[in-house]
Amino acid sequence: ADPLTIDLTGYDGVVVSPGVPLNTHPIKPHAEKYGVPVIGDIELFALARADLPPHKVVGITGTNGKSTTTALVHHILQTAGMPSLMGGNIGLPIMAQDPLPDGGVYVLELSSYQIDLTFSLDCDVAVLLNITPDHLDRYDGSFEKYAASKVRLFQMQSKGQYAVITIDNPITADISEQMKTNGWWNLFEVETSDYNGECDGPALAGPHNAQNVAFARIAVASLDFDGIDVNGALRTFTGLPHRMEVVCEEDGVLFINDSKATNPDSTAPALAAYPPEEGRPRIHWIVGGLPKEDGLGPCEQHLANIAAAYTVGEAGPRFAELLEGRIPNVERCELVSEAVSRARSAAQAGDVVLFSPACASFDQFRDYEKRGEHFRQLVDVIADSADCERAPIIDGGKA
């Protein structure tokens, strides 16, 4: 039956996918006519917690970095032998997984879409990594509404729980000040610029990963478990597919799949991770797709690291206009296959072919995973004789 025609009298709630746009979909006003909440699977989990064995929940949100930070916390706990599950906006849905035994930790990546559908998730540790403009179509173009969605993760917490927040930009710094004014408890402020050093782990290159590690360390420490070897766990972390994923090294050229970078804020750390060597820029940047915004954003700060750009997709011509005359070479390619071929031909030993589109995938691909898999396959074809170390596949979230 069409849910929009059902009499919802007596229903406890309507459960929808996070992909349903509440600001435009008719299901929300229909449910409101009957006083019925529209919720998601995270709220179902929150409602079920009282019937689960004693456990803790770490909730992690932010515009960028939340998948890696979630996977890091989960990996650290697993390496220490702690029962842990990873879910939410990454991997299997949390309601599709078996409950943890006594003392377990649920580590949840939470998109703003999921938080919008959640009302009673009382996280033992709630983490806000950053807030930059994204998904604004879901918030009627309002950055303030988008930011308020993220903050609700803290507002659902009860007294005595831990909050971890970055304060290195005005938006999050203001949020932190408001929390302190309101008498917030157990608040950890993180100045992420203090964490720009190298990380002890092959999959954790770049200052953005140093920041992710800093948040993961604080989140784990807030759980108050003894005997966890965080440094040892970091050395064995293999990273996430499609996020700074080392696909292959052939003849000294590193091929990096960063398809998960769907906006300039997410791409900028990837560009920062490979500075020039002996004054020579070494990044061959494959960029473009369906644009979320006009301009290079924070990528502007790292143009000196780029030897050449290969523009693709709907945003390709605009990126070419923005980059021509500012970096040594720009090639308009349209298709990813052409860009990979040209980059591979031009790259020298020590260079990096970086697929970090800074755009959504929907102009040519179903999602960023399919786009990343396509890049992997292209690299496999041109480097099938190379002895490549490949990252294990871990399913990632899409929102």
- What pLDDT is recorded for position 194? 66
**What letter represents residue 75's amino acid?**
H
- Provide the pLDDT confidence category of residue 143 given band limits of 50, 70 and 90: confident
Does residue 391 register a pLDDT over 50? Answer: no
Identify the band that residue 265 occupies on the pLDDT scale cut at 50, 70 and 90.
confident
Query: What is the arithmetic mean of pLDDT over 84-95?
Result: 92
Q: Which segments of 120-168 does DSSP mark as H helices, in order?
A: 143-155
- pLDDT-derived band of residue 198, with 50, 70 and 90 as boundaries? low
Distance of alpha carbon 86 from alpha carbon 110, whole angstroms:
11
* Residue 197: pLDDT over 70: no
Range from 49-53, 63-67, 178-182 that averages highest in pLDDT = 49-53
Task: Provide the pLDDT confidence category of residue 239 given band limits of 50, 70 and 90.
Answer: confident
Q: Between 211 and 179, whose confidence is greater?
A: 179
Residue that the structure tokens 């099938």 belong to:
384
Mean pLDDT computed over 350-376: 94
CA 60 to each of CA 33, 87, 108, 112, 328: distance values in angstroms, whole numbers, following the listed order: 33, 11, 6, 11, 39
Largest CA distance in the chain: 71
| Average pLDDT of the segment spanning 251-280 | 91
Active site residues: 66, 89, 135
What pLDDT score does 142 carry? 84
Of residues 278, 251, 226, 262, the one with CA closest to residue 345: 251
Mean pLDDT, the chain, integer: 89
> What's the rounded Cα separation, in Å, for the pair 6 and 86?
35
